[in-house]
Amino acid sequence: MIATAFAVFAAAQPLAGTTVHIDAGHNGANGSHPAQINRQVPAGTGGYRKACDTTGAQTNDGRLTEASFNLDVARRLQRRLAALGARVVMTRTTNDGVGPCVNERAAIGNRAHADLALSIHADGGPPGGRGFHVIAPLAARAVRPAIVAPSLRFARVLRARLEGIGLPRSSYIGAGAGLVQRADLGGLNLSRVPKAFVELGNMRNAADARRLERPSQRDLIAVALARAIRRTLGR
């Protein structure tokens, strides 16, 4: 009976014992505090520094900001991961603050000893380009090069799951691969746990904007992200 009960629990809580860091990019009050978000902070090895944060993108009509979109998707993902038994650590839970800076965002996942970390974004690319892409770290400025390979594996699973819900690969970044590796993102460079970024569409593209504005699509995205995390963790 005990073994049966444990099997039922394991099936219902497949992510029990895991920790996932969800990093909703930017913040709603960043634009009101330029001095704070423009200050330079450590962003990688070799003394590399970058601005603390940015305001993020928005749709052309201004109705949807990237900061609010990121948090909404992050919350939807949080609920799904928690239901699967994961301990979920959030960078932020409101959209009326400033930052935190990119180095602190990485530190949150590091302090939590996260099994995986995911940074959620939407892009502000050329209006004629559309689609999602996933970003994985490069060893060039990584403080822990050992996370590069597992982060890339995670990124590939994310790409497959996002394609699986009908999101097109980016037509303007990554030569149609839907995945790029970068050494200029402090949130990746400073991570000591496997981590990837998702740019879930181009907010300046009309077709992408319509998709990102729909709550039903955000739900689909959250489901795809949760499945990618579960698959990567082998659960």
Catalytically annotated residue among 66, 104, 199, 213 = 199
Reply yes or no on whether 163 is catalytic. Answer: no
Question: Contact, 179 vs 155, CB < 8 A?
Answer: yes
Closest to 233 in 3D by CA, of 192, 197, 200, 194:
194
Q: How far apart are CA 39 and CA 20, in angstroms?
A: 28
Report whether pLDDT(206) > 50. Answer: yes
The Cβ-side half-sphere exposure at 5, using a 13 Å CA radius, reads 2
What pTM was computed for the model?
0.95
Taking a C-beta distance cutoff of 8 angstroms, is the pair 55, 29 a contact? no
* pLDDT tens per residue, range 65-90: 999 999 999 999 999 999 999 999 99
